[in-house]
């Protein structure tokens, strides 16, 4: 089937033509020269710990990419946090994987950036409902990558329907402003009533209450209109109209409570990041977070040869030799040469991924998410942002 959107097809990724041209030139040159050295190559972001942890993910796609190649690969588990040192290590003849480097790094860099940003949101509002709303900001072909990263980082759900089919989880969501426009100003109650009548019972009744009038007025109207059926209101107030958003949320809460609608939850969305979540988490019940996740910088991974025919080598600025990384009992990340002693009580983190071309690991998103959240606790991820409360 031809690809109408011009995205790179899976076949090109798997056969190595989804690559930077210089790898093809390198391949041609090495074959011409009859060279194909045995190497150890490592994927790293920072060489030494910096004090800033990031989430490692994308490893299942890397396993699919490297399957069938005559190499051994070790990698961090999916969802593990890291701070310096290798996250993945390949051992074998260089030409077995040379042309795959571009795709390999791409599979890791952007998803790990999304997951790290999603974990920042999770940790900023640990007890609130937090949903991923950012699919609209990325190419639709990678919406599932965003939503998977959100689930990995412990968010409570996401909005993208096709991603839900891939991840075998149902997408969340209620109504956009477009629904209110279709009924028109002054007919918000009719829109919410129609929604209540039309959508399945298991869909929460969350009325969007910032479209035409004041948020307090629309929220009270929604509560009066749907009564006990109303689960919540969502304030997506545009930034230019927001003023003091925390005060606005508290005011809506007060006015709902004053009229006996204390069961109605308040959800907020629109340009919210970790700082805003920390500021609102005690007054709002839940959040939709989009660009704070999708605008995350990719993790700056690179792949470097660190051992050549059994000898330690390195590019200037990189560290020679095969390494291991450890989680120490005090929650630090420790980087050491593989033949050095492990730190006392340290848990070695690199695990077999591929042995002689065969994938030797299973992937489970729930287990990876549990690992991610447990490791976030272990290393104190996101705690330094607490002063913003």
Q: Which residues contact ligand PCP by CB under 6 A?
A: 133-134, 176-178, 236, 269-272, 288-292
Q: Which is nearer to ligand PCP, 204 or 271 (CB)?
A: 271
Given a contact cutoff of 8 angstroms between Cβ atoms, the answer to whether 120 and 278 are in contact is no
Q: Can you name the residues that pair with 308 across neighbouring β-strands?
A: 39, 311
State in angstroms the smallest separation of the CB of 294 from ligand PCP.
7
* 57, 111 Cβ separation under 8 angstroms: yes
- The nearer residue to ligand PCP, 19 or 294, going by C-beta atoms, is 294
CB 255, min distance to ligand PCP, A: 21
CA pair distance 155, 132, nearest whole angstrom:
7
- Tell me how many degrees the CA angle 372-273-141 measures, rounded to the nearest 5: 70
* DSSP conformation letters of 144-171: HHHHHHHHHTT-SEE--HHHHHHHTSPP
- Nearer residue to ligand PCP within complex by CB, 44 or 211: 211
Chain centroid, CA 105 distance in Å:
16
- Residue 56 or residue 287: which is nearer to ligand PCP going by CB? 287
Calpha distance 352→358 (Å, rounded): 10
Measure the CA–CA gap between 280 and 79, rounded to whole angstroms: 27
Smaller CB separation from ligand PCP, 110 or 269: 269
Q: Name the minimum Å distance from CB 297 to ligand PCP.
A: 16
377 membership: H or E segment, kind and range:
helix 365-379
d(CA 238, CA 257): 24
Shortest CB 280 distance to ligand PCP, Å: 13
The secondary element (H helix, E strand) that includes residue 334 is strand 333-337
Instruction: For ligand PCP, give the closer residue by CB, 86 or 134.
Output: 134
Least separation in angstroms between CB 77 and ligand PCP: 29
Q: Of the two residues 35 and 137, which places its CB atom closer to ligand PCP in the complex?
A: 137
3-state secondary structure of 126: coil
CA 361, 98, 333, 389 dihedral sign is: negative
Phi then psi for residue 294, to 5 deg, are: -75, -20
Give me the residue whose beta carbon is nearest to ligand PCP. Answer: 290
For the bound state, the minimum distance from the C-beta of residue 174 to ligand PCP, rounded and expressed in Å, comes to: 9
Least distance in angstroms from the C-beta of 55 to ligand PCP: 19
Nearer to ligand PCP, 203 or 378 (CB): 203
- Least distance to ligand PCP, CB of residue 181, Å: 9
357: which residues sit within 8 A by CB, 6+ positions away?
66, 67, 68, 69, 70, 71
User: Least distance to ligand PCP from the beta carbon of 273, Å?
Assistant: 8
Strand 81-82 to strand 86-93: parallel, antiparallel, or no bridges (unpaired)? unpaired
Indicate the residue among 111 and 288 with the shorter CB distance to ligand PCP.
288
CA 329 to chain centre: 26
| Number of alpha helices (DSSP H) and beta strands (DSSP E) in the chain | 13, 18
Shortest separation between residue 221's beta carbon and ligand PCP, angstroms = 18
- Minimum CB distance to ligand PCP smaller for 101 or for 265: 265
């Amino acid at each position: 089937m031809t690809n109408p959107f011009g995205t790179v097809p899976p076949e090109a990724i798997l056969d190595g033509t989804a690559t930077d041209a210089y790898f093809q030139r390198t391949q041609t040159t090495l074959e011409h020269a009859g060279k194909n050295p045995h190497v150890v190559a490592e994927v790293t972001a920072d060489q030494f710990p910096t004090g800033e942890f990031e989430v490692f993910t994308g490893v299942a796609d890397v396993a699919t990419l490297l399957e069938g190649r005559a190499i051994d690969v070790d990698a961090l588990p999916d969802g593990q946090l890291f701070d310096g040192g290798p996250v993945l290590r390949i051992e074998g003849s260089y030409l077995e994987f040379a042309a795959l480097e571009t795709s390999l790094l791409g599979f890791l860099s952007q998803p790990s950036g999304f997951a790290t940003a999603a974990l920042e949101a999770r940790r900023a509002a640990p007890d609130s409902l937090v949903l991923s709303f950012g699919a609209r900001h990325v190419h639709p072909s990678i919406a599932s990558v965003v939503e998977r990263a959100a689930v990995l980082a412990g968010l409570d759900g996401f909005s993208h329907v096709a991603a839900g089919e891939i991840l075998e989880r149902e997408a969340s969501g209620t109504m956009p402003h477009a629904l209110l426009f279709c009924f028109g100003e002054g007919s918000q109650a009719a829109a919410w009533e129609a929604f209540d009548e039309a959508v399945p019972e298991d869909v929460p009744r969350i009325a969007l209450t910032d479209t035409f009038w004041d948020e307090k007025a629309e929220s009270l109207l929604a509560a009066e209109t749907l009564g006990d059926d109303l689960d919540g209101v969502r304030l997506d107030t545009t930034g230019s109209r927001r003023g003091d958003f925390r005060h606005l949320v508290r005011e809506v809460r007060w006015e709902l409570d004053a009229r006996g609608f204390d069961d109605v939850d308040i959800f907020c969305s629109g340009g919210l990041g970790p700082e805003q979540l920390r500021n609102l988490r005690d007054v709002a019940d839940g959040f939709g977070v989009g660009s704070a996740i999708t605008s995350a910088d990719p993790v700056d991974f690179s792949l470097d040869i660190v051992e050549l025919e059994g000898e330690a080598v390195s590019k200037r600025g990189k560290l020679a030799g095969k390494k291991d990384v450890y989680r120490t009992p005090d929650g630090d990340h420790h980087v050491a040469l593989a033949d050095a002693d492990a730190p006392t009580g340290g848990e070695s983190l690199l695990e077999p991924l591929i042995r002689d071309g065969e994938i030797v690991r299973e992937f489970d998103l729930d287990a990876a998410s549990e690992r991610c959240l447990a490791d976030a606790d272990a290393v104190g991820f996101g705690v330094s942002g607490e002063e913003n409360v």
